[in-house]
């Protein structure tokens, strides 16, 4: 099981590689929020998650926006709730402890539960759709992050807790490093996104 301190010596090189415009990583495409975006998840927001190695198609998008009521429409409502309720939330690492973090992230957990009845949607999908708009608050949960912390795919809360403790324990050097980078839309690079890039980049 690794921790961020094990990555400190390579962290800058990994961030440089991922944010380099000449490289074919998703930084210049995924890591920007369209100007004037409102309080609802749009179809293109879902498809943008494909920039982080998902393979979503119309089958995962159009049911959420169809008329009627059902699991897909409920999932979209829960995504929208999370988008609104977490927009002004404290940054991931600013919570006092894991319990306070989980309390804040209740809308995210609710959206994750709403995927259980919607085909091909998981907590991974939710994280990659919402992180783009909430990069300070919603962690990306995928196989690379789970493997880094040695946790099974069913333990999403455990991954969040491990990531929280890890960022808190390495906040001094990680903050200094992240401060040197900005997203393509001009916003600061969050510690949460910096940690994910350091963990994910080969």
- Domain regions of the chain by residue span: 4-31+39-200
Task: Please say whether the beta carbons of 136 and 91 come within 8 A.
Answer: yes
Per-residue model confidence (pLDDT) at position 34: 76
pLDDT for the residue numbered 184: 93
Neighbouring C-alpha atoms within 13 Å toward the C-beta of 36? 0
Instruction: Name the DSSP letter for residue 52.
Output: G
Specify burial of residue 195 (Cβ count, 10 A radius: 0-12, 13-18, 19+). buried
Supply the pTM of this predicted model.
Answer: 0.95
pLDDT at 90: 97
Instruction: Provide the residue-wise pLDDT of the chain in tens; the chain has 202 residues.
Output: 799 999 999 999 999 999 999 999 999 999 988 777 789 999 999 999 999 999 999 999 999 999 999 999 999 999 999 999 999 999 999 999 999 999 999 999 999 999 999 999 999 999 999 999 999 999 999 999 999 999 998 999 999 999 999 999 999 999 999 999 999 989 999 999 999 999 999 9
Give the other-Cβ count within 10 Å of 69's Cβ.
8
Task: Compute CA 160 distance to the chain's CA centroid, rounded to the nearest angstrom.
Answer: 11
Going by C-alpha positions, the residue among 22, 5, 23, 21 that lies closest to residue 201 is 23
């Amino acid at each position: 099981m690794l921790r961020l301190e094990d990555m400190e010596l390579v962290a800058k090189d990994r961030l440089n590689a991922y944010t380099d415009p000449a490289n074919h990583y998703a930084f210049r495409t995924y890591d920007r929020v369209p100007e004037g975006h409102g309080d609802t998840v749009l179809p293109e927001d879902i498809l943008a998650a494909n920039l982080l190695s998902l393979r979503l198609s119309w089958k995962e998008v159009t049911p959420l926006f169809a008329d009627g009521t059902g699991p897909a429409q409920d999932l979209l409502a829960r995504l929208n709730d999370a988008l609104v309720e977490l927009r002004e939330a404290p940054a991931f690492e600013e919570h006092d402890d894991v319990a306070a973090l989980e309390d804040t992230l209740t809308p995210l957990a609710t959206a994750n539960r709403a995927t259980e009845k919607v085909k091909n949607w998981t907590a991974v999908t939710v994280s990659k759709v919402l992180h783009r708009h909430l990069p300070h608050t919603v962690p990306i949960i995928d196989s690379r992050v789970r493997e880094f912390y040695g946790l099974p795919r069913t333990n999403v809360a455990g991954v969040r807790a491990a990531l929280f403790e890890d960022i808190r324990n390495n906040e001094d050097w990680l903050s200094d490093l992240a401060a040197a980078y900005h997203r393509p839309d001009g916003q600061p690079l969050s510690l949460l996104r910096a940690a994910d890039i350091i963990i994910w980049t080969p």
